[in-house]
Structure 1
Amino acid sequence: MNRALILVLDSLGIGASADAPAYGDDGANTLGHIAQACAQGQADVAGGRSGPLRIPNLNRLGLAAAQTASSGSELAGQASHVVTAAYGYAIEQSRDKDTPSGHWEMAGVPVPFKWGTFPTTVPCFPERLIDELIKRAKLPGILGNCHASGTEIIQRLGAEHIRTGRPICYTSADSVFQIAAHETHFGLDRLLDVSQIAKQLVDEWNITRVIARPFVGDDAATFQRTANRKDFTTPPIAPTLLDHLQQAGGTVVSVGKIADIFAGRGITEQIKAKDNMALFDAMLQRFATAVDNTLLFVNFVDFDSHYGHRRDVVGYAQALEAFDQRLPELEAMMQAGDVALITADHGCDPTFPGSDHTREHVPVLFFGPDIKGQNIGPRKSFADMGQTLAKHFHLPALPHGVAVNWQRRSC
């Protein structure tokens, strides 16, 4: 079989990049700091997880070794493993540390410029933008108009939103305009319509994404975001690996928010699921029927949205351990010729102040029945991953990136 999977552990950085100080991220290390907290007993839960981070399968695939190579320090509390995959780390060349830039670059298209962002002032959005949004979407006004954590702002303003019918608009350090609204009181379809209008308007400010953030609940204690999130994203600035594979007759299956990140470009089929474990189930189910020249591209969003941004070290550790336990199920399904890649799109160190992404290296773990354990070293661009998969699918070389030439297992 000639199939491939990309498993993006959204935000699992493994050490600060050389340019991290320019982003305020000097010393960031998402995985390293989580492992350190676990080893020191700071992530113990009464009646739940305790002790060092337990990720033996990821370490067997080279995650701990990649983190050591990236950061120069051992991953705390981890036993040594014989590595069975081609492992290394990649350095981002895109100018920002946002989700689309990271994904596009790993698919062969680095972003050579910075996206627009909104200032940290209150209000943060241009008056002209908000006035036009209110007019076009026929809104009674908006709430928020500030930088905020998505969970915090719905707890703070959710009740007022229900009472007034005004959607909650907020942003972050990323190039994003986010709109939260109650699925029942405001309506999911209406939220999506408002978000589409907003995306048309924010293009003037070179904003990458408008994210519709529906939530449910009756009060601050019960408000929670739902799985019906929708990202309205600027299309990639050039054809990606996905476009080239689709045009060559291959199949590209988006699992999770991948289709949104690529604005639907190069996507053959979309599968949604509510959380990491449901995403893993959906991936396995679809992989079982995948034919030659199929790429499954999966984003495990909970690592970022539930734990990284919320600075939840314990939750992040538990999510990593749960993911690790599922990996043998995937490996058992892989056949000769299949390749899987575990990586990330940026960091989001839960031990850092604030709630924003962190500028970090990401792991590059290629594995499959034919791949021998080996160190593939530092990769100068995330685009090396896309170039490697282009070679795997016998596509013409992409404009960016250098393919990994791994050693193969002997028959």
Structure 2
Amino acid sequence: MARAILIVLDSVGCGGAEDAHLYGDAGADTLGHIAQACADGRGDREGLRKGPLALPNLVRLGLAHAYEASTGQPLAAAVKPAVPGGRPGYGVERSQGKDTPSGHWEIAGCPVSFKWGYFTALENSFPPDLIAAIIKAGALPGILGNRHASGTAIIDELASEHIATGKPICYTSVDSVLQIAAHEEHFGLERLYALCRKVRVLVDPLRIGRVIARPFIGTAETGYTRTGNRKDFAIPPPDETLLDRLAARGRKIVTVGKIGDIFAHRATAEEIKPFGNAAMFDAALGAWERLPDGGFCFVNLVDFDTEYGHRRDVPGYAAALEAFDAMLPRLEAALRPGDLAVLTADHGNDPTWPGTDHTREHVPILAFGPGLATTPLGRRDSFADIAATLAAWLSIGAVGPGRGW
């Protein structure tokens, strides 16, 4: 019986979507702008990387084909093989928004038909009654922040006051999210999680997609650093997903990274959540080696987004892509006849774009496995085509509105 592994390269978009202008993202292009910056020397950083973007394995599997199909332009400095080693294409998001849950749920066969709630005011972002409810629920002396902000910047700014007063740092962005940052030692990690669970209930009527715990450590003298103990508290998908169907069929499921959080821990089975792309890739390969026939491994590699996209760090993003590319042959070597691997993304986060938020983009889709035909996938009109394909591959019946390839 077949197995399948799905890896989401978080935020690795491949060119602006047709409706990008509705999100202020007309012209955004995460992959293309990184490649061009590297070709121009703007992706160089002493001691990190230098020169054109080097993704030989991804390009061999068809990344340049997928990018060109999406944008009509060649990927800078990429030498496209005449015949790709995998099946390349690109996906167009049907769901509204450009956030993590929408992208992942649609990939899993559950496009979002409703409108998310947002905190749109840049300053004093949260309604006074919500702030009062948060303070009461958490027995807090108050909150800090209450605005749109970069997570690292607002922690640097307010961490010392947070430690002195015991007030957590609450902030948001253009995404449907409320983030709460607190010091792991002074405030307490479990206390932060408990607060986020209570806030999750408070924002449910507002249709806020996620409440995110953002723990950090450090001192004013040494500087403050976010830890790997982030936890997302999301609303559950509104309909059946690929994971639900697999669980109902009794299949083995392993989820790596923040997949469990994104799906509100529904049908996410064995959850593995190490810190960093390399550790998550290693964990995924370890799970893959013991995955039985008919099993499914669902992986999110978040560093592209959180460490480099939101921080608008072009060299860092490029280096992370090159590091993943170098790891990819290990996955290829672990595939056996009947296995299917799919690489994709959930949205864009163009590090050359103004601001610090996600960008509305197409996403690449690369499918490969022993003996898999290399016919291009072309344009897929919904990310849900991925779920439809995986459901058919794993013989569990049709899932979602997508069309398999």
**Under a length normalisation based on structure 1, what TM-score does the superposition of the two structures give?**
0.97
Question: For 1:177, what is the secondary structure of its paired residue?
Answer: strand
Which residue is equivalent to 2:347?
346
Which residue is equivalent to 1:231?
232
Which residue is equivalent to 2:293?
292
1:75 alignment partner AA: L
**For 1:252 and 1:176, how far apart are their aligned partners in 2?**
27
2:36 alignment partner AA: Q
**For 1:262 and 1:47, how far apart are their aligned partners in 2?**
38
Structure 1 residue 185 corresponds to structure 2 residue 154: no
Identity %: 56
Question: For 2:137, what is the secondary structure of its paired residue?
Answer: helix
**For 2:122 and 2:365, how far apart are their aligned partners in 1?**
38
2:174 alignment partner AA: A
Which residue is equivalent to 2:219?
218
**For 1:356 and 1:403, how far apart are their aligned partners in 2?**
31
Aligned length: 404
Which residue is equivalent to 2:242?
241
Q: Check whether the contact 2:92–2:383 (CA below 8 A) recurs between aligned residues.
A: yes
Structure 1 residue 112 corresponds to structure 2 residue 113: yes
**For 2:60 and 2:249, how far apart are their aligned partners in 1?**
34
**For 2:149 and 2:310, how far apart are their aligned partners in 1?**
11
How big is each residue's C-alpha offset from its partner over 1:279-320, in whole Å with a ceiling of 9 and x where there is no partner? 011011111111011111010000000000110000000000
Shift >6 Å, 4+ stretches: none
1:192 alignment partner AA: Y
**For 2:335 and 2:197, how far apart are their aligned partners in 1?**
39
Q: Check whether the contact 2:387–2:400 (CA below 8 A) recurs between aligned residues.
A: no
Which residue is equivalent to 1:409?
none
After TM superposition, the structure 1 = structure 2 runs for residues 8-407 of structure 1, keeping only pairs within 5 Å, are 8-81=8-81, 82-219=83-220, 222-404=223-405
Q: Check whether the contact 1:9–1:301 (CA below 8 A) recurs between aligned residues.
A: yes
Please tell me the root mean square deviation across aligned C-alpha atoms, in Å. Answer: 0.9
Q: How many Å apart are 1:46 and its aligned residue?
A: 2.1
Q: Check whether the contact 2:251–2:295 (CA below 8 A) recurs between aligned residues.
A: yes
2:201 alignment partner AA: Q
Q: Check whether the contact 1:156–1:220 (CA below 8 A) recurs between aligned residues.
A: no
How big is each residue's C-alpha offset from its partner over 1:266-286, in whole Å with a ceiling of 9 and x where there is no partner? 111000110000001101111
Q: Check whether the contact 1:253–1:271 (CA below 8 A) recurs between aligned residues.
A: yes
How big is each residue's C-alpha offset from its partner over 1:45-70, in whole Å with a ceiling of 9 and x where there is no partner? 22431110010000111111101110
2:376 alignment partner AA: N
Question: For 1:223, what is the secondary structure of its paired residue?
Answer: strand
Which residue is equivalent to 1:2?
2
**For 2:101 and 2:193, how far apart are their aligned partners in 1?**
20
How big is each residue's C-alpha offset from its partner over 1:297-347, in whole Å with a ceiling of 9 and x where there is no partner? 010000000000110000000000000000000110100000000000000
Question: For 2:290, what is the secondary structure of its paired residue?
Answer: coil
**For 2:400 and 2:287, how far apart are their aligned partners in 1?**
30
**For 2:203 and 2:227, how far apart are their aligned partners in 1?**
24
How big is each residue's C-alpha offset from its partner over 1:96-122, in whole Å with a ceiling of 9 and x where there is no partner? 111000000000010012200002242
**For 2:394 and 2:55, how far apart are their aligned partners in 1?**
30
1:294 alignment partner AA: G
1:9 alignment partner AA: L
Q: Check whether the contact 1:213–1:229 (CA below 8 A) recurs between aligned residues.
A: yes
1:313 alignment partner AA: V
**For 1:220 and 1:125, how far apart are their aligned partners in 2?**
31
Question: For 2:219, what is the secondary structure of its paired residue?
Answer: coil
1:314 alignment partner AA: P
Distance 1:220 1:19, change over 3 A: farther
Question: For 1:355, what is the secondary structure of its paired residue?
Answer: coil
Q: Check whether the contact 1:154–1:220 (CA below 8 A) recurs between aligned residues.
A: no
Gaps of at least 5 residues in structure 1 are 405-411
**For 1:55 and 1:317, how far apart are their aligned partners in 2?**
10
Question: For 1:186, what is the secondary structure of its paired residue?
Answer: helix
1:319 alignment partner AA: A
**For 2:242 and 2:173, how far apart are their aligned partners in 1?**
29
2:189 alignment partner AA: L
**Under a length normalisation based on structure 2, what TM-score does the superposition of the two structures give?**
0.98
More displaced stretch, 348-357 vs 41-50? 41-50
Q: Check whether the contact 1:155–1:221 (CA below 8 A) recurs between aligned residues.
A: no
